[in-house]
Structure 1
Amino acid sequence: MPVYLDCNATAPLEPAVRETMLTYFDVEYGNAGSRTHEFGLRAKRAVQEAREAVAVVVRAQPEEIYFTSGATESNNLAILGLAPHGEATKRKHIISTALEHKAVLEPLEHLEKHGFEITLIAPNSDGVVRPELIEAALRPETLLVSIMHANNETGTIQPLDQVSEILREHSAYFHVDAAQGFGKELSLLRSDRIDLISISGHKIYGPKGIGALVARRRGIERIPLKSIMFGGGQERGLRPGTLPVPLIVGLGKAAEAALKDNAKRTSRNMQIRTAALDALGSLNIEINGDQTRSLVSTLNFSVPGVDAEAAMVALKNIAAISNGSACTSSSYEPSHVLTAMVLPEWRVQGAIRLSWCHMTDDVNWSAIVSALRRLQ
């Protein structure tokens, strides 16, 4: 089997997470909404414990955590759920970036068709958005600023701390898509100026099909989100539907492990990164994205003379890799992220993304380098 180097698309399940989930599939199968018997009460307690585990990672309150099906739904809920408030208050301007995942860009496109004005800030060639451009784009009628935490293609971490300070004097809500960075880079998401955070379970070694939206209160005021789904009233009326207790418990366990094992995981990921850079350096690669502010588990690079599609074919029996987001890689279209960075065409067409984790097997870097060299 080839070594798996596509953890940004989806990551393996942490063994402790799987073990915990099985109990709630096989034994503790109660509905958390059933309050008339012990099965339901135990399920409700398990959900609350998971809510607390997610909250502590970003220093939020448990009641500020809303479980969803994943970061895509959380992004839609954060953006589309604020739209009625924007319409009612005549604040219909939103700022985001050209680097965002389609789960942010497409809801914004939808709002634009319905009378909202969207300003997309372009990044530098290193994949970082300059905070002063965010500040310059702010208006009195700006409803929302939405910026991702860590880019899913390059791993580049955005300056959320600086943007948070810029927004201290502005009433705009601040949303962060943290699908890739939650539980990996801890400090930036703990700012109390970040109002909304989207989380994905399967990117932090939890199950697919579960995520969360953090919606921090401003003092005693809840963020004026409106549900985009109807029926049932679960999650305090914001996200209806029977709670998937095993998945929620799995997300809680994954969040707990991410916090407890953060230093150990970072060390292992850095070992893999160092080995990758040492080996790939002989190919004269160009790294895409600022390496001084990147997730240690992601490397996006281009090899002179090598097309990404040809590289994936050449490496299919050696390593599972990608040329960008799993949501768009099947379209064979140039990466909108690298295009926004205004990189040379050969780097965009040749970009290869490697992403790993603390559970990644040892990598045969010499075999990878040999296969890529034959393509040059």
Structure 2
Amino acid sequence: MSVYLDYNATTPVLTEIADLVYKMMVDDFGNAGSRTHEYGVKAKKAVETARQQVADVVGADKTEVIFTSGATESNNIAILGLRDYAEQTGKKHIITSRIEHKAVLEPVEHLESFGFEVSYLDVDASGLVNPRQLQSLLRKETVLVSVMHINNETGCIQPLAELCEVLKDHDAYLHVDAAQSFGKFRHDLTNSRIDLISASGHKIYAPKGIGALIMRRRGYDKVPLKPISFGGGQERGLRPGTLAAPLVAGFGLACEIAAKSWEQWLSDASSIKESLKLALVPFNAVIHGDNTSPFVMNFSIPGVNSEALMVTLKGIAAVSNGSACTSASYTPSHVLTAMGLSSELIAGSVRMSWGVGVKELPIDDIVRTIKTLQG
């Protein structure tokens, strides 16, 4: 069995989380919306416990958390849910970056078709946006700035604190896609200037199909989001449908574990990354991006094609060459393209990502495989 090194795509579910989800499915299976019997009351209690656990990760109030199916749905609600407010106020300008996940870029493009204007923050080979460019792009009619925290392909950590500083005297809403950082980077997301945070359970050892949108109030004012789907009025009317209480509870427990373990996770991941960096030195590997997460490394090796490397590594390590959401398209990575990398480097790029459960990498086997391909 190969070592799984695609944690940025999805993480394994921790045993204690799987046990809780199973118990909720088999024993405490009530509908959290049913309040006339103990089954529903138990499910409701589990949901509210989880809501607090999620809120605690970023220092939010539990009433500011709504559960969704994952970061993609959270992104869509955060972006498309502002449409009515934007049209009513005449603020129809959005700022985002060229390296966002498609779950941000496509909703933004959808709003463009309704007359919204979009400005894009550029990146260079560092993979980082420039806060000064954000300052230059801001207008009085800017309604939303959406910038991811950690890039899913390169692991580049965006300068959130500096972006918040630029926005401190502007009333544009700031949305952060935190799919790759929620629960792993404890302090960056606690900045009260961040209005909207998207999170995904399956990136922090909870099941797929559960996530959250955190909507911070400004004083007593809520972010003026409107629902983008209808029927039932659950989650404060923003996300209708029966809550998947077992998944919600699992996500909550994952957040509680992360709150206790994040420092150890960072330390362990940093050691693993350093071992990979050292192993790749003899091959003149090009590591893409600056200020990157310790949980991932995106690199190219001169003369080695990524597809060939991934195929040859089968049985040794499960790796990828970009976003799992677009891996079937075989088009060049829009992230690496935006960074200005050459077609050769893009064609050779490989992403390895790790987390809990990975104690060490199969370095010897990886080195041997690269040698056979590099000739």
Q: In which range does the TM-score fall when normalised by the shorter chain?
A: over 0.9
CA distance in 2, matches of 1:144, 1:203: 25
SS in 2 for 1:256: helix
Corresponding residue for residue 141 of structure 1: 141
Corresponding residue for residue 371 of structure 2: 373
Deviates more, 1:331-340 or 1:274-283: 274-283
* Residues 283 and 369 in structure 1, CA contact (< 8 A), matched pair in contact too: no
CA distance in 1, matches of 2:341, 2:292: 18
Corresponding residue for residue 109 of structure 1: 109
CA distance in 1, matches of 2:74, 2:217: 17
SS in 1 for 2:320: coil
State the shift of 1:363 in Å.
Answer: 2.1
Corresponding residue for residue 96 of structure 1: 96
SS in 1 for 2:366: helix
State the shift of 1:362 in Å.
Answer: 3.2
1:51 aligned onto 2:56: no
SS in 2 for 1:168: coil
Deviates more, 1:342-351 or 1:2-11: 342-351
Corresponding residue for residue 325 of structure 1: 323
CA distance in 2, matches of 1:251, 1:78: 20
SS in 2 for 1:237: coil
* Percent of paired sites with the same residue: 54
TM-score computed with the length of structure 2 as normaliser: 0.99
**What amino acid does structure 2 have at the position aligned with 1:209?**
G
Runs of 4 or more consecutive aligned structure 1 residues displaced over 2 Å after TM superposition: none
Corresponding residue for residue 242 of structure 1: 242
SS in 2 for 1:375: helix
**What amino acid does structure 1 have at the position aligned with 2:254?**
A
State the shift of 1:346 in Å.
Answer: 1.2
Corresponding residue for residue 167 of structure 1: 167
* Residues 269 and 297 in structure 1, CA contact (< 8 A), matched pair in contact too: yes
State the shift of 1:361 in Å.
Answer: 4.8
State the shift of 1:306 in Å.
Answer: 0.7
* Residues 144 and 173 in structure 1, CA contact (< 8 A), matched pair in contact too: yes
1:166-205 mapped onto 2 (5 Å cutoff):
166-205=166-205
Count of residues in Structure 1 that have an aligned counterpart in Structure 2: 374
The equivalent position to 1:336 in structure 2, one of 311, 334, 339, is 334
Offset from partner CA, 1:165-198 (integer Å, 9 cap, x none)? 1111000000000000111112111000000000
State the shift of 1:366 in Å.
Answer: 1.2
Offset from partner CA, 1:300-353 (integer Å, 9 cap, x none)? 000000111111111112110000000111111110000000012211111000
Corresponding residue for residue 269 of structure 1: 269
Corresponding residue for residue 11 of structure 1: 11
Deviates more, 1:20-29 or 1:202-211: 20-29
CA distance in 2, matches of 1:165, 1:374: 49
TM-score computed with the length of structure 1 as normaliser: 0.98
CA distance in 2, matches of 1:238, 1:328: 28
CA distance in 2, matches of 1:230, 1:52: 25
* Residues 124 and 130 in structure 1, CA contact (< 8 A), matched pair in contact too: no
CA distance in 2, matches of 1:205, 1:299: 20
State the shift of 1:280 in Å.
Answer: 1.5
**What amino acid does structure 1 have at the position aligned with 2:257?**
A
SS in 1 for 2:274: helix
**What amino acid does structure 2 have at the position aligned with 1:224?**
P
Offset from partner CA, 1:4-47 (integer Å, 9 cap, x none)? 00000001111111111111011001110001111111111110
Corresponding residue for residue 128 of structure 2: 128
CA distance in 2, matches of 1:281, 1:17: 38
SS in 1 for 2:352: strand
**What amino acid does structure 1 have at the position aligned with 2:17?**
V
State the shift of 1:275 in Å.
Answer: 1.3
Q: CA RMSD in A?
A: 0.8
**What amino acid does structure 1 have at the position aligned with 2:368?**
S
**What amino acid does structure 2 have at the position aligned with 1:83?**
R
CA distance in 2, matches of 1:361, 1:162: 34
SS in 2 for 1:33: coil
1:215 aligned onto 2:215: yes
**What amino acid does structure 2 have at the position aligned with 1:173?**
Y
SS in 1 for 2:167: helix
1:284-295 mapped onto 2 (5 Å cutoff):
284-290=284-290, 293-295=291-293
* Residues 5 and 319 in structure 1, CA contact (< 8 A), matched pair in contact too: yes
5+ residue gaps, structure 1, are: none
* Residues 324 and 335 in structure 1, CA contact (< 8 A), matched pair in contact too: yes
